[in-house]
Amino acid sequence: MHYHTPASFEDAIKIAAKATGITRFLAGGTDVLVQLRADMVTPDTLIDIKHIDGVHDITRTSDGGWTIGVAVTGAEMTEHPELAGDWPGLVEAMDLVGSTQIQGRATLTGNLCNGSPAADSVPAMVAAGASVSVRGPDGTREVAVEDIPTGPGRTSLAQDEVVTAVNIPARVAGGGDAYLRFIPRTEMDIAVVGCGINLVLDGDTITQARVVLGAVAPTVLLDQACGDAIIGTTLDAAALERLAKAASAACNPITDKRGTIEFRTKVAGVLAQRAAKIAYGRAQAGGAS
């Protein structure tokens, strides 16, 4: 294995483009090193991107949104009051990934590029409408987060492409988000079901809703029917009932060591209702709390 510490994304891409065999980018390492230790993936080339300028920064953009560097850890996000104020659901989702120790290393970008359908931060990012900047030999492109994972452990990124930042939109007035996951213990498990929701209200009425399910299909699901079930409502009992049904209907899960098809399908509806209530409460409180 060859270990590189490029000082720029340009150099990182050059190394990746020339590399043969398996290449991995290293940020927090909480997936890469596990896979190495477990003999699942032993990269031939490991490119540590933590020495590149700006990768540790959380920056407010001119339009009120946020740019999160690819080496920003979960702990750093949780400790950022303004980011957490704008996007509590997203920050909580990242905070759910692993232990205190994992939070000291794990990153949003790593959680995304690992390609797991159960990644906690991904439904929250998709619900938020986040995108990533992807740099390749031909320049930088902006890709919606939901377009990165293509299946378990797979992404749409080319061998010589690297994510350079996560872009979170501005929190609009009357907006609120939430993410919940189901795990059998209180901590340390992979999500059996996850649900991220971002709402915008006009008064008490939901005008926009992005409902995203995790761990119930090969990739996270941004489900329009779930959103439609509650748009135009005040999240009354009937709307919540429709939401649960839509969420369960959207599921295309598997039975594995972590849960059954029946369980995931039912609990997706339960979590969607619970997350929607939290997001609605936050939106009513004015979004940025």
Partner 1 sequence: MSLDDVKTTGFKYVGTSPDRPDGLDKVTGRAKFGADAYAPGMLHGAIARSPHAHARIISIDTSKAEALEGVKAIVTRADFRDDLRGDHWNVLENVMAGDTALYDGHAVAAVAATSVLVARDAAKLIEVTYETLPHVTDVDEAMADGAPVIRAGTADKSVPEGLHPNVVRYHESGHGDVEAGFAEADLIIEDHFRTEATHQGYIEPHACLATLGGDGKGDLWCCTQGHWNVQKICSSLLGLETSQLRVTASEIGGGFGGKTVVFIEPVALALSRKTNRPVKIVMSRSEVFRASGPTASTSMDVRIGMKKDGTITAAKGVFRLQGGAFPGAPMEFTAMCAFAPYNLKHVKQIGYDVMSNRPKQAAYRAPGSPMGAFAVESVIDELCNKLGLDPIEVRLKNASREGTRASFGPTFQRVGLVETLEAAKAHPHYSAPLKPGQGRGISCGFWFNFGGETSVSLALSMDGTVQIVVGTPDIGGSRASMALMAAEELGIPYENIRCTIADTASLGYNEVSHGSRVTYASGLATIKAARDAVKKLCGRAAAKWGIDPEAVDWVDGCAVPSGPNAGDFDPMPIAQICKSMGRTGGPIVGHFEASPEGAGVSFATHIVDAEVDPETGKTSVVRYTVVQDAGKAIHPAYVEGQYQGGAAQGIGWALNEEYVYGKDGRLQNDVFLDYRIPVASDLPMIDTVIVEVPNPGHPHGVRGVGETSICPPLAAIANAVSAAAGVRLHELPMNPPRILAALARRD
Partner 2 sequence: MSKIHVTTSVNGDAVEFLCDPRETLLDVLRDRLGLTGAKEGCGTGDCGACTITLDGRVVCSCLVLGAEAEGREVGTIEGIANGEELHPLQRKFIEHAALQCGICTPGILVATKALLEKNPDPTETEVRYWLAGNLCRCTGYDKIIRAVMDTAAELRSESKELS
Out of 62, 63, 81, 188, name the contact with partner 1 by CB under 8 A: 188
**Residue 143's binding partner, choosing from partner 2, partner 1, none, with beta-carbon cut-off 5 to 8 A by kind?**
none
The verdict on 1 binding partner 2 (CB under 8 A) reads yes
Tokens matching residue 60 = 């407010």
**Residue 101's binding partner, choosing from partner 2, partner 1, none, with beta-carbon cut-off 5 to 8 A by kind?**
partner 2
Pairing of strands 162-168, 175-182: unpaired
Residue 251 CB-half CA count within 13 A: 28
The verdict on 100 binding partner 2 (CB under 8 A) reads yes
Amino acid letter, residue 123:
P
**Residue 184's binding partner, choosing from partner 1, partner 2, none, with beta-carbon cut-off 5 to 8 A by kind?**
partner 1
Region 37-76 residues binding partner 1, contact defined as CB under 8 A: 37-39
CB under 8 Å, gap of 24 or more: what pairs does 256-263 form?
Answer: 258/118, 258/189, 258/190, 258/192, 258/215, 259/192, 259/193, 259/215, 263/192
The verdict on 58 binding partner 2 (CB under 8 A) reads no
The verdict on 104 binding partner 2 (CB under 8 A) reads yes
In this structure, the dihedral spanned by the alpha carbons of residues 81, 62, 202 and 249, taken in order and rounded to 10 degrees, is -80
Which of these segments, 34-42, 114-122, 145-153, 192-200, binds partner 2 (CB under 8 A)?
A: 34-42
The verdict on 188 binding partner 2 (CB under 8 A) reads yes
Contact at 8 Å (CB) between 209 and 230? yes
Least separation in angstroms between CB 158 and partner 1: 29
How far is C-alpha 47 from the geometric centre of its chain's CA atoms? Answer: 22
**Residue 46's binding partner, choosing from partner 1, partner 2, none, with beta-carbon cut-off 5 to 8 A by kind?**
partner 2
Out of 11, 14, 17, 42, name the contact with partner 2 by CB under 8 A: 42
Write the interaction track for partner 2 spanning residues 157-186; mark x where CB under 8 A is met and - where it is not: -----------------------------x
The verdict on 130 binding partner 1 (CB under 8 A) reads no
Residues β-bridged to residue 167: 67, 131
Region 191-250 residues binding partner 2, contact defined as CB under 8 A: none
Out of 17, 143, 170, 190, name the contact with partner 1 by CB under 8 A: 190
In this structure, what DSSP letter does residue 15 have? H
Residues 6+ apart with CB under 8 A from 278: 89, 176, 178, 180
